[in-house]
Amino acid sequence: MSGSGTDKTKAKADLTGPVVILVEPQLGENIGMCARAMGNFGLTRLRLVKPRDGWPNVHARRAASGADYILDAVQLFDSVEAAVAGCSLLFATTARAHDQAKPVRAPEDAAREIVAEAASGGEVGIMFGRERYGLENDEVALANRIVTFPVNPGFASLNLAQAVLLMGYEWFKLATAGALPFAMPERSERASQHQMQAFFDNLVAELDKVEFLRPAEKRDTMLVNLRNIFTRMEPTKQDMHTLHGVVMAIAEGRKGPAKGGVLDGEQATRLRALLAEHGQGALPHESGTVRGLARLLRRNPTDAERILWQALRTDRRFAGQFKRQTPVGRHIPDFVSFVQRIAIELTNPDETEVIRTDRASRQAWLEERGYRVVAIAADEVTADVAVPLAALEQAMAGAQGASGE
């Protein structure tokens, strides 16, 4: 895409519009700006009658801002009569009365006649006069209709390109039934129940840390009221990401890690599900709102992550070789050894299909780049960390053997 608002990947409007006829235009810049205005509203046919500075004109091309295809197809004429000879309906634009008995039309009325004439196979032309004094009487006499604009009568003169733009706008709006070039969704996808539950659990955990939900006999009622606040909102997926980030920011304070201990396995599983869903179908502008969720998982490790990380840092077999929650390309494994080319993925019980699918995609991506992915069950770590460490040592030995072949 180049230019503000110009998307070159989109096709240009293919409509049979009126011919724009500029009578003795004086400045190349004005011709170029007229071409730009024509391009804005699907007009492509431009005729010039004796341009003062000759043709082609480099200043016109500079001012056209990409409407070169209109300038490349310009037709030159030595007289107004020759330029309008093929028109079955001709409009003359002017800001002053010429004392001629002709119908006078506003731009929107002229647009209706233009569309009707084009539909019947006729050719319509719109004449625009010189920058200094417009069209002469004998030139206006050639027209079937006069077009004038509802402007301040004490300051009625328009720039040449402005006049072309106004006529093009009224014609294009009518020819396309006022269709806008794009639409934006007003809401993102509605939040799922498990997204709502993950957010609510996170919120309640933080409220418990500050003893908000008291006295104890009113806790259940307060929780119901809180939940109803959010269900009445009918929040979207994007709303949930934002609210998670808000809760996390409040919990962390201005700087430093989040306070209040660790996440349990169930909470971590729900947050991982949210991150996995985001990775599957996120819009680019959503990435910032869930960055906080990833930090929440990093700064509040589960018991299994904390135990395994402590072992990896202190056990001589692994010390100094692994990093925790470190990006590898566009993925972030739980633990990774760049030296050994090994990524460790901790699996929690009762993981959702979304998490499993996301992990499989991540594993395939890592393996394509030469990493060996080792899955370790969180339950095994908390039961006896020595067991998964022994399996990891074997995996490292296998990786070293494979690299030495």
Please provide the size of the chain in residues: 405
d(CA 102, CA 47): 24
d(CA 99, CA 331): 76
* Chain-centre distance for alpha carbon 6: 14
Q: How far is CA 7 from CA 11, 13, 177, 182, 191, in A?
A: 9, 13, 21, 11, 32
Say whether 303-404 and 19-175 share the same fold.
no
- Which range scores top for mean pLDDT: 224-233, 282-291, 345-354? 224-233
Q: What is the mean pLDDT of the chain?
A: 83
Q: Within a 13 Å sphere around the CA of 201, how many CA atoms are in the beta-carbon half?
A: 15
Summarize pLDDT for 18-77 with one digit per residue, the tens: 999 999 999 999 999 999 999 999 999 999 999 999 999 999 999 998 899 999 999 999
* Chain-centre distance for alpha carbon 63: 29
Q: What is the residue type of 204?
A: V
Q: What is the residue type of 181?
A: P
Percent of the chain with pLDDT over 90: 40
Tell me the whole-structure pTM to 2 decimals.
0.50
Cα-only R_g, the chain: 35
- Answer for the pair 308, 381: CB distance below 8 angstroms, yes or no: yes
| Range 19-175 classified under CATH 3.40.1280.10 | yes
Q: Residue 91: which pLDDT band, with cuts at 50, 70 and 90? A: very high
Does a cis peptide bond (omega within 30 degrees of 0) precede residue 215? Answer: yes
Tokens of 244: 């998670």
Give the DSSP H or E segment for 146. Answer: strand 145-147
Residue spans per domain, the chain: 19-175, 193-299, 303-404
d(CA 12, CA 51): 28
Q: What is the residue type of 337?
A: S
Q: How far is CA 363 from CA 20, 32, 235, 332, 333, in A?
A: 61, 56, 32, 11, 9
pLDDT at 226 over 50: yes
Q: What is the residue type of 101?
A: A
Tokens of 285: 């502008």
d(CA 16, CA 119): 9
Give the Cβ contact number of residue 209 at 10 Å: 13
- The CATH H-level (homologous superfamily) assignment of domain 303-404 is VSR Endonuclease (3.40.960.10)
